[in-house]
Structure formats: structure tokens, C-alpha cells
Structure 1
Amino acid sequence: MKVITRFAPSPTGYLHVGGARTALFSYLYARHHGGQFELRIEDTDTERSTQESVNAIFEGMDWLGLEHDSAVKYQSQNLARYHEKIDQLLNNGQAYYCNCSKERLDEVREEQMKSGKKPRYDGKCRDLSLGKAEDTIIRFKTPKTGEVRFDDHVRGPITVANDELDDLVIARADGMPTYNFSVVVDDADMGITHVIRGDDHINNTPRQINIYQALGVQVPEFAHVPMILGDDGARLSKRHGAVSVMQYAEDGYLPEAVLNYLVRLGWSHGDQELFTKQQMIELFELSGVNKAPSAFNTTKLNWINQQYLQQADNDRLAHLLQTRLNVLGVEVPDAVDLGAVAEMFKDRAQTINELAEMGLFLMQPLTGYDEKAEAKAFKESAIGALQAVIEKCQAIDDWAGADLHQLIANVVSELEVGFGKVGMPVRLALSGQAQGPANDVIMQVLGQTETVNRLQNALDHVTAKFA
């Protein structure tokens, strides 16, 4: 059997973390088994579905690299097929028209709850053989006896008695099919073999299996993955990180790092933490999906992203840095090589945005010096050290080939002082901070002209201070 999975989001908002993980699991399972991964847009909710949301889903899937194998399916373009199948059930006596008003249904449910019963439709219209009318809906005639049993790939065997299920609505009064019916028709027509989705759908599954059987089509296998919680145990929300997938791009995360983090939200392979996409495909099995909910942890996501930053190609990081600096409105000086900036900070930064922030001092004029660092480094003895370094910098003909570390070491030797007496004021002069990359690395990135300018500005500042 060829494995065919699908991701079927409703375009009523952005592609969020939970949806992206479901898409990833479906994608990996199909790829692992050499099958197909399909994308379906469930846009029959015309009041809430928007093209903007459809575009956001496409953008998120594309950024994550979750390629689908066929043309995108849209439920809104398949209404004729749903009505054909609804008519099939009506003609076979497996569905019926119902004219119960909302007020009556509310009264029935209220009475049932008062008497301690499970609130559900009481079947009043089930055997009345009503015809189509303006306000009638269509209900599926759920079997009254027997049970529905399925082996969930995550939860294991699940059995539900049919007398626990009511006659669900499969078409509203305006003729629009409901979710539980349209997904069955779509999955059957698309040949979906494995439905992988969130466990909030698990109560729908017995109802849908009854519809599959009534339509005489193959029932797929199911895997209901647990929900994602915040690290405080509460349902995931925006404050935990439940934002648009593209927000992670804007926040400076790499797509492969987000994929790696998502696959570890509820799936494991031994103690391994880092996976390439190909490794995910080779190793992923539904048997590795945990039954318990997973906790979203931003600290863990940051750590994973940092690992990928450290391994990333500097040219790629330079492009991402340029994009981020454009957002910040920062113009990169011609002399500054962003690839070199990436190399300078990628072992320290956790995101592209952090990397950009760390490198801002290389792109923008210094507006001052750290006060504590200045008190230690800009003493009167710094005047001679800065003067000596400036003179040696000005004398260099080939800045790119110069050994700038040795230049500073020579000044230390000539002045017969400790390295800190020269290194500290130079670092503060170049970066405005006491801590940071090595002085020679900063000097190389700044270029000769900017290096001399900053050293001269610092010299003027210290000279005026002790005049």
C-alpha cells in the first residue's frame, strides 16, 4: 500500500506551531515510507476563511520546506462532489432531513443535562421521512447498535459504542456541508491512507468512520498526536510562543532549527537532539510519538537555533543579516563584510536578530563608551598606547594582509606594559564595550580608515579628560 498523508488547515488565521508540527509529522511519515504528502485547504467556512490566511499557510509551509506532491485541493471548489455524496446517503436511507428549530434543540439539551444525561440530538426527525424545505438540515443516520473500533497509531485501540453518538449534521440549512462530512469525502477521494492530526479531533473519528462505512469507501488509519502546552502546563498561547510560523523567521530563527525543534515536540529517537531534515525522514515513525502532551520551551528552541547558527555558511548568514539590518534601517558601510560579522558572532548569538544587534557597533558610529569600562581602560596611560597603535595602523599598506594581532603585541612590547594596558583601551575605542571579539578581528572588519578614526576619537576623548 502506498502511503498518502495530508495536511488540511482551515484558512482562518496564520500557520501556528501546532499546525506546523502536524504538517511536519504528516510530511515525514509520507517521505519515510516513499509515499505522498498532500495539502488541502478547508475553506468552507466562508465567513472566517480569507485569502490572506491561505497565503500565510503557503508562506509558512514554503519557509519550513514542507513540499506537497500535488496541486493544492480547496474544499470550496468541491461542493458539487459533497452534494453528490449527501444525495447518495439520502437515497440509501443513511441520512435524513431535520426541521428541528434551534430553540427546540436547546430545550432538549437542557432537559437532558438536568436529568444527568449526555446532551445530544434525540432523533425526533430520524424516521419522519421529511422532504427538503427552506430551513431543513441534513443529519447522518448513525447506527443505533454496535461499536466503532480503531487502532490509533499513538493512542492504541479505541472503542466507542454507537449509542454514545448522535445523528450529526452533515449539511446546514444553506446546503453547506459540515466538517465531519466533507473531510471524509475528501480523504476518500484523495486516497488518504493515514490521517495524522491533533488529538482534539479524536472525538470526531468514530463519527467519521461511520460515514466512511456508509459511503462504502476505505477507512484510513489514524494517528492523533497530543497537544502542545506552554512550559507552565497551560494550553499553548501567544505568550508561550504560539505565534505565526513566519514570526520565527522575523525573530531570526533558521527554518531547519524550527523544524528540528518541532519534531522533538512529541517525538523522540533515543537521546538524539539534533536532526537534519534527511535524518528526520529516515528515522521518523509514529511509534516514536509520545502519548503525553509536549511543553513548548523557548530556551530549548534558542539552544537548537544556536547550534544551527554555528554550523551555517557565512554567506547565507550574511544575506540573512542584511535582511535584518534592512528592517532596522541600518546602512552597512562598504568596508564591512557581513560574512566576517557573522563569523565573529555566530558562536555567541542565538538568533539572526541577536547576531545583528551584536554587530551594530561595526555598522554605526559609536555614541559613547561603557562607563565602568572607561574608568578601568581610559586612564592617562592609555594615551601613549592609543597613539602608538594609531601610528602603526597608519603605516600599513595592505590592511587585508596585515597581522593586526602582532601589531598590538608589538606596541605592548615596545611600551613594556601588560597586554591589558594596550588591549583594553583599544577594545573600548573600537567597540565602546569592555567585552567582545578580539581586537584584531574587529579591526579587520572595520577596515583601516574606520579603525584609525575610532582610535583617534578615543585618543581625543582621553586626552581631553586628562588635559
Structure 2
Amino acid sequence: MKPVVVRFAPSPTGYLHIGGARTAIFNWLFARQNEEKFILRIEDTDAERSTEDAIEGILRGLEWLGLDWDEGPDFQSRHVKAHRAAAEQLLESGHAYKCFCTKEELDRKREAARKEKKTYQYDGACRNLTPEEVKKREAAGEPYIIRLKVPRRPDAVVFEDKVFGIIEKRYEDIEDFVLVRANGQPLYVLANAVDDIRDGVTHIIRGQDGLANTPKQILIYQSLDAPLPVFAHMSLTLDPQKAKISKRRHGEQVAIHYYREHGLLPWAMVNFLTLLGWATTDSKEIFNPQELVQAFHLQGISRANSVFNIQPNDPKFFTDPKLININAHYLRNMPVEELFPFVKQQLFSAGMWDTLFESEKKEWFLKTVALIRERFHVLSDFTTLGAAYFSDAFPMDETAVRKNLFGKDAAPAWLGDLADQIDTLTPFDAKSVEALLREFLKANNLKPGKLINAVRTAVTGQSKGPEFIEVLLCIGPERISRRLRRAAVFQD
């Protein structure tokens, strides 16, 4: 068997989006499973639309997802001479010809077909020009394009797609399609095939929208006497309204950087995107990298389109709830040392990072992260719901404040009294804190729930959270007493 070679070949006309990332993931998984080659090729021959920012965004997006490549990034624009050389080879072998039909002539024929309610297909007007006629028209300076001479046979181009099975396209339904424009620019259908042949690509795993071009590319392979790769076309990803996910329709909400900025973990994103249109036989949904590489197979790709449940108006689940739940699983269960750099970046971006958190305070930091993450879904929760653990400037939940710190019999001046006692408490450990709180409840005739809710709100800004004593131990006596006194002032 030949070594497996796959490629991801995005066009740098915009950011890396959900569909492109999913294609890259499937190729990467297949390559890693076979311990073979994953090539990154940037198809940048559309000079007007390709940008350096888009290229940088694609590279950073793949790196964030952890999709390392073995070759590249290679740029298609560097191989234009090879694409033209392939077109010349096809001309010399008789598999292609020069077409001198003008745009005006083709437009008239296209308009005539429209009026007759027929599908327009190039009629091969220049297909049988003699060599002498071609030379004469070239000498006269007539511009031309290069078309593939599609065989005129009664049967069909037939190939087996690993997802959609046997596909047939009758030769009579394939026009003599363009390979090279009049300005000498090779078209995608030629450049893509030539690059794949050069790189020795054995498996082409791409979106279903590439299925229509496959018979044409097979004809190019055959005309260049090159072995055919294995094709596997992935079903489409749709939004909740069953419309195709696209940059134009959905904006940044389908961009990979959107999810990085909103606190998603990269492997959670990989895990989720793999499940869009792919499944194992045992319905398993949570995979670590080694498990997913081992489990992945092309036969698991579904022919049915998948749905990405974008939730733009939900303040909690800003995206597919399944994605949020997968992210929460990893956030809560991955080793806290592995989570450390992600939380660090989140705090740094929010202006909450203290360099002591990775030196003398690192043990405290890791313990705190491990404590509070149990209720979190995304990394940004550390800078919102968890802000009080890392900074004195933290948001206060209005409902919790109104209920626990204001109103009738909510939390009067005893907050300040409790702060005084905490100031003198030694040692500040679980046993001592529990004893102090029990005595304080008795002395002030308070119910435990009233005290806990008021203190938790004053100290963390939230009405809910981890185990109460553990929260106090993480916050520490100085910050607790300072925040209790600040909350006591709320009563005035």
C-alpha cells in the first residue's frame, strides 16, 4: 500500500471558519491515524481576494486547534509555471485545445439557451480546428483559452466516493471545460489537480461542494496519466434554519477566532467539530486526542448533513449548547496544570494576571482554579464568575446583592463585626473558620443560610459557588474582611 498523503488546501480570502476547520481536522485525523503525511497548501492564486491577514489567520487558527502539518505551508501561486506546463502537455497530447471563441459569442449562445429554457453547455466550436487554423488565428493575435477535450462517449465517468458511494457523471453532460484563461491564469480545477499529483496526495477529503468538480478532475488525472486518489466528500454543515453555514450569512460566529476569543478550549472545539457529520458505532462523544485519532475512520462520515445550532441571542449558550457542554467537560476534567496556560491568557487579557500566580502563588492559583472550575463552562467564566478570586475589582450580581445585602433583615451591621473577628483569627484554616462561624451564628441569632448567602455575596459577588468554607480559605482573611466592611457600607 502507498503511504497515506492528505492535504488541507484553504483559499486565503477570509478567516478560518467552521467548515474549513472541520475539513482540516478530518484530514489531520486520517493522517495521524496512519502515521503519514498531512500537507498544508494555501491556494492563493486568486490574487485580488487573497490577503496576508487571511493567511495569518488560517495559520494561527490551525495552530490553536493543535493541527500540526508535516509539509508547508506551500503556496499554490508559486507553482503557476507547473500548472501552465501541464496545460501545454495536455495540448501536445491532444487532450486539450485552444478555444478562440470570444466572450460576446459565448454570451449570445448562453442567452439563446436561456430563451429556449435549456442548460447552456459549450458546443465545442473550436474543438476540431486544424493545426493550420490555430496557427493562423494565433498569428493574427486572437486571444484564446485552453479547454480540456472531454471524450465524446456514450458512457460515464465513474468513481467510488468513500462517503457517497458510486458516483456517475455522463460524458455528454460534461462540457469542454476551461483549464487556462486568456490571460494565462490556470483555473482552480487544473491547478488543484496538478498540485495534488505533484504532492502525491493519496486521499482527498473535502466538503461535499467539491463533489461537482470531481469528474472534471478525474479527467485531468487520466489525461495526465496520473493515478487517481481516493475521494471522500464530507456532508454539509447547516444552521438551525437548515441553511448552509457560511461566512457571508453568519459572519464571525462561524470563525474559529470567535470561539478562541469567547473562551473555548481548542481540543473541545476539535472534538465537537469532528462529531458534526461523523460518529462511532458506540455513540461515544468525548475523546482525548489519542482516542479520537484511533477511532476515526472515513466510513464513520455521514451522508446526512449536520446541524450547528448557533444560538446568537442566548446570553449563556452563545453557540451550540453541545459545544458548550463538551467544553465544560474538558475545562472541569483536564489536569489543572494543562489548564493553567489557558486561564493565564484569559486573566492576562482581562487585566487580572499577577506574575506571582506562576511563582510563589502558583500552588494557591492551581488550587483555586481546581475549586472554582466545577461550575464553569468557558474560560471567560474565570474573569466573570470567578473574578473575585483574582482581583478586588469584580462584578456583583444585582439579584444576589438585592436579596442578600439589602432589603428587610438582609444583612445589617454584623458584616463589619464578622470582619473584626476574622481579622484576629489564627490560624486561618478550615477548623478555625468553622468554629468562628458557629459561635458567630449563636451570638447573633442568625440562621446559617442567611449568613452564608450574605458573606458569599459580599466576598465573591455571587449567590452560588463552591463549598463555602473552601471559598473563604481561597479568598483569604485580608480580602474577606475588607470586602465584608465594604458590603456593610451598602446598608447605609
Q: Taking structure 2 as the reference length, what is the TM-score of the superposition? A: 0.87
Amino acid at match of 1:246: H
Does structure 1 residue 170 correspond to structure 2 residue 192?
Answer: no
Secondary structure of 2:71's partner?
coil
Say if 2:124 is the partner of 1:123. Answer: yes
**Any conservation in 2 of the 1:230–1:237 contact (CA below 8 Å)?**
no
Instruction: State the secondary structure of the residue aligned to 2:375.
Output: coil
Deviates more, 1:124-133 or 1:404-413: 404-413
Q: Return the alpha-carbon distance in structure 2 between the equivalents of residues 393 and 334 of structure 1.
A: 25
- CA gap of 1:453–1:264, structure 2 versus 1, over 3 A, is same
| C-alpha contact 1:134 1:173 (8 A) present in aligned 2 | no
Alpha-carbon distance, 1:316 to partner: 4.3
Q: 1:460 to 1:118 in 2, by over 3 A?
A: closer
C-alpha distance in structure 2 between counterparts of 1:371 and 1:186, whole Å: 61
**Structure 1 residues 321 and 142, CA gap change in structure 2 (3 angstroms):** same
**Structure 1 residue 241 displacement after superposition:** 6.9
Which residue identity is paired with 2:372? F
Contact kept in structure 2, 1:405 and 1:440, CA below 8 Å = yes
Relative distance call for 1:274 and 1:375 in structure 2 (3 A) is: closer
CA distance in 1, matches of 2:306, 2:285: 15
- Equivalent positions of 1:425-436 (< 5 A) are 425-436=454-465
Determine if the alignment matches structure 1 residue 386 to structure 2 residue 415.
Answer: yes
The answer as to 2:170 corresponding to 1:141 is no
Q: For residue 231 of structure 1, give the secondary structure of its aligned residue in structure 2.
A: coil
Q: Where do 5+ consecutive residues of structure 1 fail to align?
A: none
From 349, 355, 358, give the equivalent of 1:327: 349
Residue in 1 that maps onto 2:219 = 210
Structure 1 residues 204-242: Cα deviation after superposition (integer angstroms, max 9, x where no partner): 111111110010010111011111100221121454875
| Structure 2 residue corresponding to 1:185, chosen from 185, 194, 198 | 194
Alpha carbon RMSD of aligned pairs, Å? 2.5
1:284 to 2:296 alignment = yes
Return closer, same or farther for 1:163/1:242 CA change in 2, 3 Å cut-off. Answer: farther
- Equivalences for residues 56-67 of structure 1 within 5 A: 56-67=57-68
- Closer, same or farther: CA 382–118 of 1 in aligned 2, 3 Å: closer
Greater shift in the superposed pair: 200-209 or 76-85:
76-85
1:274 is displaced (CA, Å) by 0.7
Residues 358, 185 of structure 1: CA spacing in aligned structure 2 closer, same or farther, 3 A cutoff?
same
Q: Is the 8 A contact 2:396 2:462 kept in 1?
A: no
Offset of residue 5 of structure 1: 1.0
Q: CA deviation at 1:455?
A: 1.4
Instruction: Spell out the pairing of 1:338-349 with structure 2 (5 A cutoff).
Output: 338-349=365-376
Equivalent pair of 2:410/2:454 in contact (CA under 8 Å): no
Flag structure 2 segments of 5+ consecutive residues without an equivalent. Answer: 310-319
Which string of whole-angstrom CA distances, capped at 9 and with x for unpartnered residues, describes residues 321-356 of structure 1?
332233334465979854344334322221111332
2:283 to 271, 288, 293: 271
Partner of 1:53: 54
- 1:18 and 2:36 are equivalent in the alignment: no
Give aligned-pair identity as a percent. Answer: 35
Contact persistence 1:309–1:351 (CA under 8 A) = yes
Maintained 8 Å contact 2:252/2:258: no
**Could you report, residue by residue, the CA deviation over 1:40-68 in whole angstroms, capped at 9, with x for unpaired residues?**
11111111112221111111111111111
Spell out structure 1 runs of 4+ moving beyond 6 A. 333-336, 366-369
Q: TM-score, normalised by structure 1?
A: 0.91
Give SS of 1:122's match. Answer: coil
Report deviation, 1:276.
Answer: 1.3
